Amino acid sequence: MKSVLQDLPKAGENSNTEPLLPKSTIDVFYDKDCPGCRMDLRKETCLGAPYKELLYIWIIALCVGLPISSLYPYLYFLVKDFNVTKRDEDIGYYAGCVASAYMLGRGLTSVLWGAVADRYGRKPVIIFCCTTMVILTTLFGLSTNFWMAVSIRLLLGASSAIFGPIQAYATEVCREEHQTLALSFTSSAWAIGMIIGPAMGGFLAEPAVKYPNIFSKDSLFARLPYFLPCLCISIWTAAATIACLWLPETLHKHKETNEESHGTGVTEKRQESDEIGSTKSENLFKNWPLMSCIIVYCVFSLHNMAYSEIFSLWAVSPKKFGGLNYSTDNVGEVLSVTGAGLFLFQLAIFPKVERILGPLKVARVCAVLSIVVLASYPSISKLSGTSLLLCINIASLLKSILSTSIFTGFVILQNSTISQSQRGAANGIASTAMSLFKVFGPAGGGVLFSLAEKRMNASFLPGTDLIFFILNVNLVIGLVMTFKPFLVLPQRVRSE
């Protein structure tokens, strides 16, 4: 193994020449055939944030979020068109099943994709899964019955379980001081996907009805009224798949040599990373700092997934059931404003706030504020006109900013507990656990929504009051779990 830095001048060789790299870095041997070593070298020589790679990551993470939420605005009408229910009050149950199938599929394969990414690299896993998402998203738009829709959503979730490898890649492509920004990119893309997705679904569903001058009543989009949003997402994902071809690999791949068996050929950065988290032979399930972060992360994920479905169902439901009586277009407009505001906050403000408070304090403060915002929703439903439009846009934006900040904070904490050699698997475990929790989010949200519509005249927590009260109970549980003795952090994080 040869050093690719051996020809660089070392500090002190020439008093008139500044060293290109610190001496500690120059003395480290890099394997020129290892993509991870090449990435380490690049991070040592390039001090700025890799915005090009972060843009690619943002596009890919957005692709993962879009299929989850794009069906929410029209899910109620999709299930109704399948004619599987006898009463409108039961639609929520079946809608929950369709939405939950995605998360069940993702939960079954997240650890697998994380392990494959640790073995063969982040890039091939991302490219394969993006390609599969293009095919399955298109097929979902062609669904003609309830069971076809559930089956395709299950397979789509199984092929979309790459958020763990994406998060691992984001931390590895950046220097340590830029990792918060990188994770903000992934979290904001995911969150914006959860917002733009419903906006796309709202604007593009039933195009022959909404845009008769463009789509005739005899067109494919009239016979398949929910195909257009799926087709647009597939086109975007196909573009992201092509963009993946320019991603540099970050995983270390060293050939087995005697030198490496004695520890040579590994950069100091990797050795430091191993000291922070688990060693390669350590069982991740015994790493309590990691597992406690994942569990708390899952509790908040359960809340957010239930909220995402309930918000769209609540917004389009009639006023007599405590809803806003919005059309899918109205929902799309609200979520578009939310997405734009969230994007600006995550990229411009969140990194500064996290640098001041730290990821854990950010999560706690945002959880408290989320409870306050969510408690206002039953009162907002009683408004109308401009007052309703203004209040629901502000509340939706604040809720999304706060939820995304909680997730980003816990992703930062989670990745601080592990080394690179296990980062894909660890993020896969987190994604699996989160997905399994989220299976109950849409299903529970659908059941809760149907239950609320049947008890509009109850004396205690009538109608939608029950929905938002239970969502807040979930938030309180998550907030309590961010404190000792439940949540345990590595010494390095506690000292910062």
Q: Which among 389, 70, 400 has a CA at the least distance from the CA of 203?
A: 70
Best mean pLDDT range from 47-56, 387-396, 456-465: 387-396
The DSSP secondary-structure symbol of 485 reads T
Domain residue limits at 219? 47-252
Same domain, 318 and 247: no
Best mean pLDDT range from 46-60, 239-253, 373-387: 373-387
Taking the model in full, what pTM does it have?
Answer: 0.65
| 130: exposed, middle or buried (Cβ count in 10 Å: 0-12, 13-18, 19+) | buried
Cis peptide before 22 (omega within 30 of 0): no
The pLDDT-based confidence of 136 (bands split at 50, 70, 90) is very high
Render pLDDT for 72-87 as a digit per residue (tens, 0 to 9): 778 878 888 888 877 7
> How many angstroms separate the CA atoms of 381 and 118, rounded?
48
In a domain? residue 20: no
Q: Give the domain-ending residue among 233, 252, 271.
A: 252
Same domain, 95 and 178: yes
Same domain, 128 and 227: yes
In a domain? residue 139: yes
pLDDT beyond 90 at 476: yes
Residues 6+ apart with CB under 8 A from 452: 321, 322, 463, 464, 466, 467
Residues 6+ apart with CB under 8 A from 280: 274, 419, 421, 422
The answer to whether 208 touches 217, Cβ cutoff 8 Å, is: yes
For position 460, which CATH number holds? Answer: 1.20.1250.20
Mean of the pLDDT values across residues 225-251?
A: 88
pLDDT beyond 60 at 118: yes
Same domain, 102 and 245: yes
Same domain, 101 and 169: yes
In a domain? residue 269: no
Mean of the pLDDT values across residues 225-243?
A: 90
Distance of CA 408 to the CA centre of its chain: 9
DSSP string, 416-474: TTS-GGGHHHHHHHHHHHHHHHHHHHHHHHHHHHHHHHT-TT-SSS-THHHHHHHHHHH
pLDDT > 70: what percent of the chain? 82
In a domain? residue 33: no
Render pLDDT for 9-36 as a digit per residue (tens, 0 to 9): 433 344 343 444 444 443 445 677 787 7
- Between residues 367 and 441, the one the model is more confident about: 367
Residues 6+ apart with CB under 8 A from 233: 63, 66, 67, 70, 137, 197, 200
pLDDT in the model for residue 464 = 80
Q: Out of 229-233, 245-249, 258-262, 490-494, pick the least confident.
A: 258-262
Structure tokens at 213: 């001058």
In a domain? residue 298: yes
Mean of the pLDDT values across residues 260-267?
A: 42
Average pLDDT, the chain: 78
Please count the structural domains in the chain. 2
> How many angstroms separate the CA atoms of 97 and 432, rounded?
18
Task: Provide the greatest CA pair distance for the chain.
Answer: 86
In a domain? residue 445: yes
The answer to whether 93 touches 101, Cβ cutoff 8 Å, is: no
Amino acid code (one letter) for 469 = F
> How many angstroms separate the CA atoms of 433 and 429, rounded?
6
pLDDT in the model for residue 277 = 41
> How many angstroms separate the CA atoms of 424 and 120, rounded?
11
> How many angstroms separate the CA atoms of 417 and 332, rounded?
39
Same domain, 233 and 299: no
pLDDT in the model for residue 424 = 65
In a domain? residue 144: yes
